Amino acid sequence: MRKLLTLLFLFIAIAAYTQAPVNDDCPGIIDLGEAPFCDSTVFFTNFDATPSDIGNDNIPNIANCSGLGEMDHDVWFSFIASDTIDDYLITVTGITDGMGSVAMNMPQIAIYRGDCEVDGMEILDCRAAIINENVVEIELSGLDAGLPYFVRITDYSATAAPNWGSFQLCIIEKPPVVILDENQTTTLCSGEIYDSGGPDGDYSVNQNFTFTIIPPGPVGCITFTLNYYNIALTGTDAIRFFNGPNTASPLIATVQGGASGGGSVSYTVQASSGALTLQFISDGTINLDGFYGQWECSTTPCDPPDLIIVDGVVDTTTIIDYIASPLTDVTITNINCPQGAYGTFDAGDFTNLGLNKGLVLTSGRVADEGFTIGINHPGNMFASTSWGSPGDADLNTISTQSGNGTLSNDACIIEVDVYAATDELSFEYVFGSEEYPEYVNSSFNDIFAFLISGPGIVGDPGLNGQKNLAKLPAPLNVPVQINSVNNQLNWEFYRNNLTGPSVVYDGLTSDFLGVKSSLTAYSQVIPCNTYHIKLAIADRGDTAFDSGVFISDIKGGTPTLGIDYNNGIQYLVEECTDIPDEIVIGLTSPSDEVVTYNVIISGTATPGVDYELNIPSEITFPIGSTSFSFPIISLADGISEGVETIIIQLTNDFGCGEIAFEELVIEIHDELAVEIFAGAADSIFVCAGIGVQLDVVGALDYVWSPAGVFDDPNGPDPFANPATDTMVYVVGTLGVCFDVDSIFLDVVDPQVEIEALGPIGICQGDTIALNADNNVGNSGLQWTSNSTILDPLNSPVVDIAPLFNTTYTVTVQIAGCTDSDQITINVDPFAFPELTFTDTIICQNYSVTLANQITGVTTKYLWTSNPNDPTLTTPAASGPTVTPEVSTVYTLIATSQNAFCADTTTASVTVIPAEVDILVPAADSLDLCLGSSVDLTAFTSTAGLGLQWLPNDGTIAPPTSTNPTATPTESTTYYATLTVGACVVVDSIHIRVDSIPFNEITKLIPDKESYCQGEIITITSPNYEPANFPDIQHLWIPQLGHLTPDTLWNLVIEAVETTTFQRITTNRACVDTAEIEIIVIPTAFISIEPSNSTICKGDTIQLTVMSNDPIDSYTWTPTDGLSCADCPNPLANPFGSTTYEVEGEFQGCPVGASAFIEVVVLPDVTFPGAPTLCPGDSIQLNLNDPDPNATYIWTVDGNVVSTDPNPVVFPTVTTTYILSVQTPGCDARLTPLRSLCFPCHRC
C-alpha cells in the first residue's frame, strides 16, 4: 500500500488544478496506511468538495445512522486494518488549523469495506455529530487484518449553506474507558476515565466514588491528566488526587467549587508511590459536564517540574533573537513599557507553559526585584506590581468594543516590523493572569492585543485599520481577555494554574480542550512585504494583580520534510535488507491554493550508486493535499566508505529570493551499529529488587543475554532485574547483518533516614532543623512537604517552620533507584490574646473585658483573680468580661493544645465604690396601662445623695427621691443615675405603657329588639388599627351559638336563648370588658290532626291545627281541595295524595307543621250491558282485569254468591247482583243491571 500511495501522490502532483479537494472521490482517496493513524499536526478539509455517487449504499440507511443527512461535500480516506487491534475508535474533529481556516461543523462519517468503486462497497456503520457540535466518533470491531477499509467524511447542514471546513482524523485502538459510577480499581498502566455521565452526559448529584490505579509491575511515576473538567462553581463538588492506593494516602491536589470550580483543561498531577487514587464527590445542588481524564505509567521516577527561566533586562538584539525565524526578518520600532515589565523566557520539557522560548510582556514585573516577585514562580505564589503608568488607546478601543469600557493602565507595548518571505505569518501565544479566577466577570478585566497592519490587511476602522489577531478561533472570534476566557465562559480554552509548577499566574489560556497548550495568532500576507505588528498588554480596573502574555517566534509558512524508517533503524545501511524507507514531504495544513516547492539533492552519497530515490525536482501540492511520500533504498557498492550523507532541501521563491525552507540529512552506513542507550554509557546503576528498562537502537531484531535477567530478551527495550552486578549483551540483526553491544549493570540499594535536630512538637512560628542521613552522598536528594518541593531541595539539612502538623518526606535517588523516609512535625497553634489594658480604673458595677476574644482555636486559657471575683464566670475564655466589686488583679496563663507553647500576663482593675439598684419592682421592666401609676424604690450606696431620676419630664416625682412615683403617658425607660465623684453609675427600669381601643359594642346586625331561635346575629364594634395594638387579645363568653372564633374583635352567633355576651379585651397590662344582651324568642310548636290519613277518592276529611301557644295567623299550602286557606280547621277533599303545610307566627317568629292525606282510588269495574238471557245462558259480571290488592264480594239479596273478581253466572230468573270492592283504606258498593230470562224467539 505504501508503493500505491507513492504512485497516487505522484499522480496528484501532476494532475490538473481543480478547486475540489484531491480526495473528493475514490480515485483521489488519501491512503493513511496501516492503523493506527492520529497526527495532531495534520489537517484535512472538505472545502468545495462535491457529492460522490458510489451506487450501492451511496445514501447510508442503517439502524445506527440516526440523524445522518445528505453526503453532499464528502471526501475519502482509506486505511489497512492491523493484526494488533481488535477494537477501533475513529474520530473526526472539526478544528481550525490555526492558519486561518474555518473548522468543519456537524461532521458526518461512514465506514465501508470492499473496493472503492461504483457498486463495489458495503457500508459497515455511520454516525452524525449532534446538532451544532464539531466532533463525531464511531467504534468498530471485527475488522479483518490486512484488508482496506474506506472512510467517507462530510458535513451536515439543514440549510443551503454548507458547514464544510478543516478537520482532523484519528483511527486508533479504542482505549479502555472507565465510567466512574462506582468504586473501582485497575491494574492497567494507561486508559481513559469519565465521570458517571460518560462522554455525553452530566454527573449525578450526591456521589462519592473512588478510582484507584495500581499497576502490577514496578512503577516510578503515574501521570494523570484531566483533559477537561467542569464542576459546580460553588458548593462541595470536588475531584481529589491521592499519592497512594486509597484516600488515606497523602493528598496531591484538589479541584473543588470556589477558586478551582467551573471548567478547565489540561490539569495534570503525578503520583510517585506506585499507586494513584482519584476521588469524585458531588453534592445535591447541580450536575454539569464532569470530567474526562487519561493516565499513563512509567518505570522511571517522576521528573520534578521546572520553573520557566526569565530575563527582565534585555536589549532589542536579544528580543529579535527570541522571536525571529528563518522566514521572517524582524525589526523593533518601538518599546513603551515600564523597565522590567518585558523580557524573554525559556521553558523546557518539564514546565507546563506550553511554549519553549520567546518574548513575554506583562502588566507587572518579569523578574524578582526587592519584595516584588516576577513570573518564574509556582502558581501558589502571587505577583502584583503597580507601576502607575498609563494605558493604551487601542486597548481602550477594544475594551469599548468587546468589554465593559474600563480604561487600561500599566500598559506594556512593543511594536515590530516583520518582513514576510512567505504568504503567511503566525506565532503561538499563552495569556496568563493573577486576576483568575477571583475577579472573573468584574471590572478588573485585564486585556491584551496583537494588532497587524500592512498590505492586504483589512482591519478595524476604530483601530486605524489594524486587525486584532488575539482572538479565539472561529466561530467564536472574540478577543481573548479575562472575561471572555475563564473557568465560567469558554472554559474549553482555560487552564487552572492555581497549583501549577512553572508559572506564577493562577490561570492560563490553551487551545480548544488542550489540543495544544497555546493559541495561534495567524494572518495571511502578501509575500515580500513588510507588516507592522503591535504587541500590547495592560491592567484594567486597577494596577494590581499582574497579567502577562508569552509570545513564541514569528513564523512564515513552511513545509515539512522527513523520513519514515521502515527497518527499525535511523539510517540507511548497505546490503542488509531490500525493504525501502520513505521520504515524506507535507504541509502542516491544507492550502487554499496550489503550492510548489523545489527539491534539491546533494551530499557525499552518489545517487544510483549508493542509493536509489525517484523524486521529482518540483513538488506541487494541489488544494486540499497535505502529504507526498517517495521510497528510498541504499545500494551495496562493496566499498568501505564510512558514513555517507544524502542532503535534501525544499526551496521556493515567493518573489523575494530563493529560500531553503527545510533540510533533511540522511546517513548511509556500511554496516550496522548497535548501541545500548545510544552509546551514552558502558555501565549504569540498577536499583536492587526494582530493575531498569534498557533501550537499544541500530537494528530491527535483538537477542539479549543472559536471558534470565530480562522480561523480554528479544525486544528493543526490555526490563532487566539482575540480582547482582551483571554484564549483559545484545545482538542486533537487520536482514543478514548483525552487531553486538554490552553494558554493565551495577546493582545499588540506597537508604535514607530523617533525624530531627530538636523536639518534633513545636509551637507555631518556631523553627526546627531536619537532617537526611543517607548512604548515597545526597544523590538525587529531595525534600517534599505535602507534595510541595522544599528549597533548598538537595540539601541534607533543612530548616522548617510549619504552620500546622506537617509530614516531611526526603527521597534519595540514584539511577532510578529511590528510598525515602518521613517524619511528622506536630505544630501547636498558639493564639495569645492582646490585653485591653494592663491597669485601669472603673466604677463599681461597671464591667470590663480583660482581653480580645479569640474563638475557634485550640489554645487553652485560664484566668484567675486576687481577691476572688465571683463575676469571673468564664475563666477559660481568652477575653472574659468581669464586674468586680473591689479592686482586683487578674492573671492569665495560656497553653497550646499539646503544651508545646505557654505564656502568662496580668491585668489590674481599681474599683471606685458607687452603686445604685432599683429594688422595687424587682424586674427590669413592667407593663402599665395608660393612666395608672407605679411606685419605685431605689437603693444607693450614698443613702440617696447624688441620685437623679431621668428623664425628668414631670412623669416621675420627686425626681431625686429613692421612692418616687411614675405615671408615664407613653412607654419610658427611667434611669436612676448616681454620681459619685468621677463615677456615674446607672440602673434602669423600662415601663411599657399600653392602652385599649374604644371598647363598646355599638351595633347588632340585624338590629332588632328580639330574635328568633336560629337567627344569625353579628355583634360589632368600631374598627381599630391592629398595628397600633400588636399584643391585643379578645375573648367572648359564654360559649353559646358561636359561629366565628371567640378571639376576634367582632362575633357572629346563632340565636339560642336570651343571653348577655361579654368581650374581655386584654392588651398586656390593660383589661376591659364590653357586654350586650341578646333577647331570643323561644320557638313555638304546632301540629295538625290527623297528621297522616287515608281516604277514598272523593271523600272529605277535616284538618285541625293544635298548639299550646297563641298563634297569630294561619296560611295553608297548597289550597287545592281545602274549604278555607286561613282558618285553623279546614275540610280537605284532595284530588290525589297530598301533603298540606300550615304556617303561623308566634310573637313575630314563624312556626309551621304539615299533614299527609293518602287518596285511594278503587279499581275499575266494567259491567256488561243489561242483557236478556235465555235459560241456561251464562254471563261474566266484571269485564275488567282484577286488582290483586282489592277484595271483590258479590251478593244477591244479601247473600254472598262469589268473591271472584270476574265471576261467570247462570241465572235462571231475573237477578240483581251487588258488588262490594274493598282496598286498604277504602271500600264501595256497585249495583249492576238486572239479568232477565223469559221465553223468546231466541229461547
CATH code of the domain containing 1127: 2.60.40.10
Among 971, 993, 1015, the domain-final residue is 993
CA 601 to chain centre: 59
Q: Lowest-confidence range among 201-215, 678-692, 723-737, 934-948?
A: 678-692
Cell of 1108: 299550646
pLDDT at 208 over 70: yes
- CATH number of the structural domain spanning residue 627: 2.60.40.2030
**Does 619 reside within a domain?**
yes
Among 733, 748, 763, the domain-final residue is 748
φ/ψ bin of 200: left (φ > 0), alpha (ψ from -120 to 50), beta (otherwise): alpha
pLDDT tens digits for range 34-50: 999 988 778 899 999 99
Query: Could you list the residue range(s) of the whole structural domain that residue 161 is in?
Result: 2-173
> What per-residue confidence (pLDDT) applies to 591?
66
pLDDT at 157 over 80: yes
Question: Cα separation of 928 and 972, whole Å?
Answer: 11
Do 129 and 252 belong to one domain? no
**Does 834 reside within a domain?**
no
CA 378 to chain centre: 27
Q: Which of 755, 758, 786 lies closest to 773, judged by CA?
A: 755
Question: Which residues make beta-bridge pairs with 122?
Answer: 113
Alpha helices in 858-920 (DSSP H): none
Instruction: Please say whether the beta carbons of 970 and 994 come within 8 A.
Output: no
Q: Which of 497, 498, 472, 474 lies closest to 485, judged by CA?
A: 472
The model's confidence at residue 788, banded by pLDDT at 50, 70 and 90, is low
Q: Lowest-confidence range among 396-400, 622-626, 951-955, 966-970?
A: 622-626
- CATH number of the structural domain spanning residue 269: 2.60.120.290
Question: Cα separation of 298 and 816, whole Å?
Answer: 11
Mean pLDDT of 257-284: 89
In the three-class reduction of DSSP (H, G, I as helix; E, B as strand; rest coil), residue 1084 is classed as coil
Share of the chain above pLDDT 70, in %: 95
DSSP conformational letter for 610: T
639 Cβ contact list (under 8 Å, min separation 6): none
Highest mean pLDDT among 816-825, 829-838, 1216-1225: 829-838
Q: How would DSSP label each residue in 1089-1124?
A: ESSEEEEETT--EE-EEEESS-----EEE--TTBS-
How much is the mean pLDDT over the chain? 87
DSSP conformational letter for 677: G
In the three-class reduction of DSSP (H, G, I as helix; E, B as strand; rest coil), residue 451 is classed as strand
Question: Cα separation of 1177 and 1143, whole Å?
Answer: 63
Between the alpha carbon of residue 722 and those of residues 686, 687, 706, the distances in Å are 8, 9, 10
Strand ranges (E), 867-920 = 881-882, 888-895, 902-912, 916-920
- CATH number of the structural domain spanning residue 81: 2.60.120.380
Do 626 and 542 belong to one domain? no
The model's confidence at residue 470, banded by pLDDT at 50, 70 and 90, is very high
Cis amide bond preceding 1118, omega within 30: yes
Q: How many domains does the chain have?
A: 11
869 Cβ contact list (under 8 Å, min separation 6): 882, 884, 885, 888, 890
- Residue 284: CB atoms within 10 A of its CB come to 11
Question: Cα separation of 1217 and 1232, whole Å?
Answer: 6
What backbone phi and psi angles, to 5 degrees, belong to 230?
-150, 100
Q: Put the strands of the sheet holding 290-298 in their side by side order.
A: 177-180, 190-195, 290-298, 221-231, 262-271
* Secondary element (H or E) of residue 316: helix 316-323
The model's confidence at residue 1035, banded by pLDDT at 50, 70 and 90, is very high
Identify which has the larger pLDDT, 746 or 1060.
1060
**Does 1167 reside within a domain?**
no
659 Cβ contact list (under 8 Å, min separation 6): 326, 327, 421, 422, 651, 652, 653
> What per-residue confidence (pLDDT) applies to 405?
80
**Does 607 reside within a domain?**
yes
Nearest-5° Cα angle at 27, 24 to 33: 90
What backbone phi and psi angles, to 5 degrees, belong to 59?
-110, 100
Do 907 and 920 belong to one domain? no
> What per-residue confidence (pLDDT) applies to 1045?
95
pLDDT at 748 over 50: yes
Q: Which of 376, 404, 380, 381 lies closest to 482, judged by CA?
A: 404
> What per-residue confidence (pLDDT) applies to 1228?
65
In the three-class reduction of DSSP (H, G, I as helix; E, B as strand; rest coil), residue 318 is classed as helix
Share of the chain above pLDDT 90, in %: 44
Strand pairing of 1016-1020 and 1051-1054?
antiparallel
Question: Cα separation of 787 and 783, whole Å?
Answer: 9
Do 519 and 406 belong to one domain? yes
Q: Which of 453, 281, 451, 428 lies closest to 356, judged by CA?
A: 428
Do 21 and 131 belong to one domain? yes
**Does 1165 reside within a domain?**
no
Cell of 679: 552509546
Q: Which of 951, 985, 981 lies closest to 968, judged by CA?
A: 951
What backbone phi and psi angles, to 5 degrees, belong to 7?
-65, -40
> What per-residue confidence (pLDDT) applies to 588?
67
Nearest-5° Cα angle at 98, 96 to 103: 10
Instruction: Please say whether the beta carbons of 834 and 827 come within 8 A.
Output: no
Question: Which residues make beta-bridge pairs with 1073?
Answer: 1064
- CATH number of the structural domain spanning residue 880: 2.60.40
Do 253 and 204 belong to one domain? yes
Do 1140 and 1098 belong to one domain? yes
> What per-residue confidence (pLDDT) applies to 803?
85
φ/ψ bin of 1178: left (φ > 0), alpha (ψ from -120 to 50), beta (otherwise): beta
**Does 1166 reside within a domain?**
no
> What per-residue confidence (pLDDT) applies to 19?
60
Strand ranges (E), 969-1043 = 972-980, 983-994, 1003-1005, 1011-1012, 1016-1020, 1032-1037
Instruction: Please say whether the beta carbons of 1162 and 1223 come within 8 A.
Output: yes
Instruction: Please say whether the beta carbons of 1088 and 1078 come within 8 A.
Output: no
Do 922 and 859 belong to one domain? no
Highest mean pLDDT among 295-304, 654-663, 1106-1115: 1106-1115
Q: Which of 562, 565, 564 lies closest to 734, judged by CA?
A: 565
pLDDT tens digits for range 899-931: 999 999 999 999 988 888 888 898 998 999 998
pLDDT at 1241 over 80: no
The model's confidence at residue 826, banded by pLDDT at 50, 70 and 90, is very high
> What per-residue confidence (pLDDT) applies to 589?
63
> What per-residue confidence (pLDDT) applies to 355?
92
Cell of 1122: 281545602
> What per-residue confidence (pLDDT) applies to 9?
33
3-state secondary structure 643-657: CEEEEEEEEECCCCC
Q: Is 519 exposed, middle or buried (0-12, 13-18, 19+ CB in 10 A)?
A: buried
> What per-residue confidence (pLDDT) applies to 66?
56
DSSP conformational letter for 472: P
Residue found under cell 460518560: 198
* Longest distance between any two alpha carbons in the chain, whole Å: 176
pLDDT at 540 over 70: yes
Mean pLDDT of 715-732: 90
Do 165 and 44 belong to one domain? yes
Question: Cα separation of 392 and 407, whole Å?
Answer: 8
> What per-residue confidence (pLDDT) applies to 55?
84
Do 325 and 440 belong to one domain? yes
Do 139 and 67 belong to one domain? yes
**Does 454 reside within a domain?**
yes
Among 144, 173, 202, the domain-final residue is 173
DSSP conformational letter for 275: -
pLDDT at 11 over 60: no
342 Cβ contact list (under 8 Å, min separation 6): 312, 314, 335, 359, 360, 361, 362, 366, 412, 414
Identify which has the larger pLDDT, 873 or 1163.
873
The model's confidence at residue 1239, banded by pLDDT at 50, 70 and 90, is very low
The model's confidence at residue 1242, banded by pLDDT at 50, 70 and 90, is very low
Question: Cα separation of 1133 and 185, whole Å?
Answer: 103
Do 949 and 810 belong to one domain? no
* Secondary element (H or E) of residue 223: strand 221-231
Q: What torsion, rounded to 10 degrees, do the Cα atoms 1138, 1139, 1140, 1141 define? A: -160
Question: Which residues make beta-bridge pairs with 1086?
Answer: 1107
Identify which has the larger pLDDT, 310 or 9.
310
Strand pairing of 965-966 and 937-940?
unpaired
φ/ψ bin of 499: left (φ > 0), alpha (ψ from -120 to 50), beta (otherwise): alpha
> What per-residue confidence (pLDDT) applies to 62?
53
**Does 304 reside within a domain?**
no
Q: Lowest-confidence range among 268-282, 320-334, 781-795, 1195-1209?
A: 781-795
